[in-house]
């Protein structure tokens, strides 16, 4: 724990941090929204299994882009990269749900922006064994993605 605190106390270049934050936020919002629209188009075809690859494409894009946005590593970049990956995944789902609600009902519902809908698998547990396995699988996938993102920034 002390080692982690020492790593946070290292100097952080303000221009690099600003560039990292701008690229991370814009990448998460813009590219996440575009991939959410692509996900909407893919999910209603016979190639539904390809919808997983939209997140994989986003993950590869955002980690490479964020890794190239700084010259000297700081541990804060790893934590921020994990945040931006999760934020981008949120925007993928939100843009998909917005397009779906406009397509079906002709208007946007405010409930679409609720982050609890995105991370529903953390809050709703039932006695259905299939639902339990799906929730556990989602949690494991998110943990793996967060760990890989953290390690990808350190390379």
Q: Where do the domains of the chain lie?
A: 14-154
Residue 79 pLDDT exceeds 70: yes
Quick one: what percent of the chain has pLDDT higher than 70?
99
CB 125 within 8 A of CB 70: no
Residue 1 pLDDT exceeds 70: no
Q: Measured between alpha carbons, how far is 44 from 66 in angstroms, rounded to an integer?
A: 32
pLDDT band at 113 (very low <50, low <70, confident <90, very high): confident
User: Phi/psi class of residue 53: alpha, beta or left (left: φ > 0; alpha: ψ in -120 to 50)?
Assistant: alpha
Cα torsion angle, 103, 107, 108, 111, sign: negative
Which DSSP string corresponds to 16-64? HHHHHHHHHHHIIIIIHHHHHHHHHHHHTSS-GGGHHHHHHHHHHHHHH
Q: Measured between alpha carbons, how far is 152 from 25 in angstroms, rounded to an integer?
A: 18
Residue 84 pLDDT exceeds 90: yes
Quick one: what percent of the chain has pLDDT higher than 90?
35
Sequence-distant (≥ 6) Cβ neighbours of residue 27 within 8 angstroms: 61, 62, 65, 66, 84, 88
CB 119 within 8 A of CB 81: no
Helix (H) or strand (E) holding 40: helix 32-43
72: helix, strand or coil: coil
Tens of pLDDT along 30-72? 999 999 999 898 888 888 888 878 888 899 999 999 999 888 8
92 is written with which tokens? Answer: 């993928």
């Amino acid at each position: 724990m002390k080692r982690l605190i020492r790593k946070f106390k290292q100097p952080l270049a303000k221009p690099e941090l600003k560039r990292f934050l701008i690229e991370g936020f814009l990448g998460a919002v813009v590219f996440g929204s575009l991939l959410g629209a692509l996900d909407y188009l893919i999910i209603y075809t016979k190639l539904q299994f390809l919808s997983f690859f939209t997140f994989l494409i986003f993950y590869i894009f955002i980690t490479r882009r964020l890794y190239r946005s700084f010259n000297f590593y700081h541990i804060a970049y790893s934590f921020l990269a994990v945040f931006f990956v999760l934020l981008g995944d949120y925007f993928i789902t939100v843009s998909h749900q917005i397009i779906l609600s406009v397509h079906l009902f002709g208007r946007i519902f405010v409930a679409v922006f609720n982050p609890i809908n995105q991370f529903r698998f953390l809050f709703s547990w039932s006695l259905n064994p299939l639902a339990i396995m799906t929730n556990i699988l989602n949690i494991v996938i998110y943990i793996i993605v967060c760990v890989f993102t953290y390690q990808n920034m350190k390379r």
